[in-house]
Amino acid sequence: MILPLTIDSREQRPWAWLPSEVEPTVATLRTGDYAITGDHGFAIERKSLDDFLGTISGGWDRFTREMWRMAGWPARVVIVEADLAACYFDSVTGAAPQHRHSLLSPQFVARRIAELTMRNISVLFAGDDQRASRLALAILRERQRQR
């Protein structure tokens, strides 16, 4: 079954799927970046690693307001296009994390993820954009089945 999908118009580099999987429409979503077309009760928020780290630090207030707009949804999902390990210092070499927010400590990142988790917000680290798009598609298909 082809999934009718709305991609937020502010997405700079939207994920791409096969035409046999998704029928995309670009429009402005009130909250989130990807939603089943016509479904106003669920969306997925997409983040690059740098965007996620900036969001949980300097953009925290704005981000939590956006997450509260998702209150009452069956799930609140943030998919990060990186591995969680990229947030931490390399345990073997001691090398700094590979992102622009090197002043954020691993403890700070873990605390923010814990805060989101305790607010029923799932932060899923998918490894890269291709894996993230596959994970998002699986979640959106499950949402469609549950509707």
What pTM was estimated for this model as a whole? 0.92
Residue 64 has pLDDT above 80, yes or no: yes
Q: Around 120, how many Cα atoms within 13 Å sit in the side-chain half-sphere?
A: 9
Task: Classify 3-146 by CATH class.
Answer: alpha beta
**Concatenated DSSP letters for 57-79?**
TTTHHHHHHHHHTTTTSS-EEEE
Residue 93 has pLDDT above 90, yes or no: no
Q: What's the pLDDT score for residue 91? A: 57
Domain positions in the chain are 3-146
The predicted model gives 82-93 an average pLDDT of 74
Q: What's the pLDDT score for residue 89? A: 61
